[in-house]
Amino acid sequence: MNENKCKIGENKSFLRFLTALLIFLIVIITEIPVQAISAEATEEQLKVMNELEGSDITIGEYLKKTWPQFYDELTEEQKERVNRWNRSWPKDPVSIEEKDVNWHSQNISSNITALNINLKWKNPASNLSLKIYSPDGKSFGPFYDGFDNITNGQIYFFIRKDSGLSTGEWWYAVKGETVNGTEKYTL
């Protein structure tokens, strides 16, 4: 592993963010309002989180290994749902210039029913576009900032198919439509 990258347990702000994100996901999954939940990761949990970082697993598998007490409290329907969702990981920013196209991909395995893509950049004067290609030859987009009626340097794409998404490599094309110099983005 690159020594310049920080481990999850070495950055308390990131750990707090990760804990808050986990709590948020649990609240969304259960669809029941929660007044207060508090959780602190043990040293053993931090070790497991570091070992799992970047691996291709579902949210359910991640919860079973890192927060088994939360996973055990889920209903069977909730467990079925989180066992179908891939766990995503923070990525380093990528740079793009005007008219350039950067390609990204993600492998979707069987039983995955939803895909979220969140393209973000900082400079609101820049405009990027996003086009998605499925393994079965379908394309979605291109989408531009503002297609959701909000111009905020972000394109959020969500697709869901209860019978399962097409398995295989999904490709995303990010194009620098209007960029002054270079623009950094995350996907």
CATH for 152: 2.60.120.380
- In the chain, the number of structural domains is 2
Residue 19 token pair: 């804990």
Question: What integer pLDDT is reported at residue 46 of this predicted model?
Answer: 79
Q: What is the pLDDT of residue 36?
A: 45
The answer to whether position 2 is within a domain reads no
Q: What angle do CA 8, 58, 105 make, to 5 degrees?
A: 85
Nearest to 104 by CA among 179, 172, 22: 172
Least confident of 13-22, 68-77, 167-176: 13-22
CA distance 170 to 175: 17
Domain boundary pick from 82, 116, 144: 82
Higher pLDDT, 41 or 48: 48
Question: In which band, very low, low, confident or very high, does the pLDDT at 35 lie, cut at 50, 70 and 90?
Answer: very low
Per the structure, the complete domain to which residue 78 belongs is given by 8-82
The last residue of one of the domains, among 82, 104, 130, is 82
Rounded to the nearest integer, the mean pLDDT of the chain is 82
Q: Which regions of the chain does DSSP assign to beta strands (E)?
A: 94-97, 101-108, 114-121, 127-133, 139-144, 154-160, 168-178, 182-186
pLDDT score at 121: 92
Q: How far apart are CA 99 and CA 158, in angstroms?
A: 25
Q: Is 169 helix (H, G, I), strand (E, B) or coil?
A: strand
Contact between 97 and 126 under an 8 Å Cβ cutoff? The reply is no
100 and 178 share a domain? yes
* Residues listed for the chain: 187
Please tell me the predicted confidence (pLDDT) of residue 47.
Answer: 83
pLDDT of residue 1: 46
pLDDT of residue 70: 84
For residues 85-92, give the mean pLDDT: 72
52, 82, 112 — which closes off a domain? Answer: 82
Q: pLDDT tens digits for 4-25?
A: 455 545 566 666 776 767 766 6
Could you give the CA distance from residue 90 to residue 167 in angstroms, rounded to a whole number?
Answer: 23
